[in-house]
Chains A and B, each alone.
Chain A
């Protein structure tokens, strides 16, 4: 991929964020350009979803700036935020389809809510988006009748309904069988290249993302510990990256949660005796 590095579509400048006392992100900086697919990798609870929420403006950074298409998300009022969100599409971890609407109505939802298009045109657009994810035949089904992989693809069709400029994927591979997983990965890449978006994929699936993405950030305890292209990552000697890629149980990410010495906990050392 040789894209001219124009102004990045998404940029984090020294962003920190905490829920009450718990610091989730610490001085995070990253950039995503148009046409790029970028992966954010890290263990559970490392702050990946939080990072996506910052882009969508659902939460605001405590310090630093989050820029989307040149606008500082943290400073926008409600109205401007809603305007900005039209440029974003997000795929939630388990699809987050509206359970009381059919597949067709789910995909039509953003079109009906955000545009004044006539129903006939909405119909065409919905079928087009469903065709793109290969599920035009499922238009009449209800979400409860879909498998996990299909639900994820319908959600993807819904996310791209308004032709977003930035796509956000929250763990799109979790809980999918190998075939659905490969299908989803292929779709993410194809959609990104066809629509000319910038994509951010939050994941801990190493193999799939190394094949898929242009650049990778490793997140641990809210800090970017390593970054690079897939080739650089494969060649990396960074202990955290090695542990992550080779799926080793112990390393910089310890197997044991910090605790008092085991023996003391069991009362073997008669400490207070």
Chain B
């Protein structure tokens, strides 16, 4: 009996311990990034290159996906609303869904798979080819020089990308609702504007995407830095970045939503 318990504990214990150790390392790493951040903010050009890498290169996928998501939302929403004679609320439906949820969440998921995985691969390869060790031997701290700029580049890019996603989605909704289905343009926009609150809906969406930006960027740089310095190690880390990011984004979204829209 005792043996069975011991066996069980050691079975669960090992991965659990490993997970906790990893989480602890990630926390320590986060603090190290913050401590070494002044360099990336003072020498902003370093961060600039990472905004280009994480942000600019993600614009295309974000904009195109946003447009399609908005168009689908409008088509589906119209089908439902028209049964209740409420088709003039289509703009409200599209805008609220995008600004509150889909913009930040889907934007972050796309960001994680486009930019997060690229950041992990880049840092992981730098580690595997001893570039980070070389930097250390040149008395340059890789966390300050390589990791922190990538982290901040991601953190800065994410809210902008999420806003672009929402804006494009609403535009897509407008194309379908007004141009294709022939809703009245004036009431489409004015109802939307009356129902969407800047502080409660738009700003909370931006705050959400800022949280997601921190989470995804941290996971991406951490997985890259922690990757085993081999080809399989790096490819495994890239996958882990996307999977972990997706889970964390959705869990975090639940917590933030419960917190922000409680009692409304």
Contact = CB atoms under 8 A, between A and B. Distances in A.
Asked if the two chains touch in their complex, CB atoms less than 8 Å apart, one says yes
Interface of A: 56, 58, 82-83, 85-86, 88-90, 92-94, 96-99, 109-110, 113-114, 155, 158, 162, 168
Contacts of B131: 96-99
Contact of B139 (A83, A94, A98, A168): A83
A95 to B, nearest CB: 9
Contact of A92 (B125, B133, B145): B133
B140 interface: yes
A39 to B, nearest CB: 20
Contacts of B136: 56, 58, 85
Nearest to A56: B137
A10 to B, nearest CB: 14
A90 B131 CA distance: 12
A113 B140 contact: yes
B147 to A, nearest CB: 14
Contacts of B125: 99
B130 A93 contact: yes
Contact of A114 (B129, B130, B139): B139
B140 A96 contact: no
16 contacts: A56-B137, A58-B133, A82-B141, A90-B134, A92-B130, A92-B133, A92-B134, A93-B130, A97-B131, A98-B134, A98-B135, A99-B125, A109-B140, A113-B140, A114-B140, A168-B137
Interface of B: 125-126, 129-131, 133-141, 145
A161 to B, nearest CB: 9
Contacts of A110: 138, 140
A113 B139 CA distance: 9
Question: Nearest 3 pairs between A and B by C-beta?
Answer: A96-B130, A96-B134, A85-B139
Contacts of A93: 130
DSSP majority for the B interface? helix
B107 to A, nearest CB: 26
Nearest to A90: B137
Contacts of A83: 139
A96 B138 contact: no
A109 B140 CA distance: 10
A94 B129 contact: yes
A86 B139 CA distance: 6
B133 A113 contact: no
A99 B126 CA distance: 8
Contact of B137 (A88, A94, A97, A113): A88
A110 B135 CA distance: 9
A162 B141 CA distance: 17
Nearest to B39: A113
B254 to A, nearest CB: 38
Most buried by A among B131, B135, B138: B138
A92 B133 CA distance: 9
Contacts of A85: 136-139
Given A56-B136, A88-B137, A96-B129, 6 more contacts: A56-B137, A82-B139, A92-B130, A92-B134, A93-B130, A162-B138
Nearest to A92: B130
Contacts of A82: 139, 141
Contacts of A109: 138, 140
A18 B138 CA distance: 25
A113 B134 CA distance: 13
A86 B136 CA distance: 10
B234 to A, nearest CB: 13
Nearest to B144: A113
A109 B136 CA distance: 12
Contacts of B133: 58, 92, 96
Given A56-B136, A58-B136, A85-B137, A94 B130 contact: yes
Contacts of B140: 109-110, 113-114
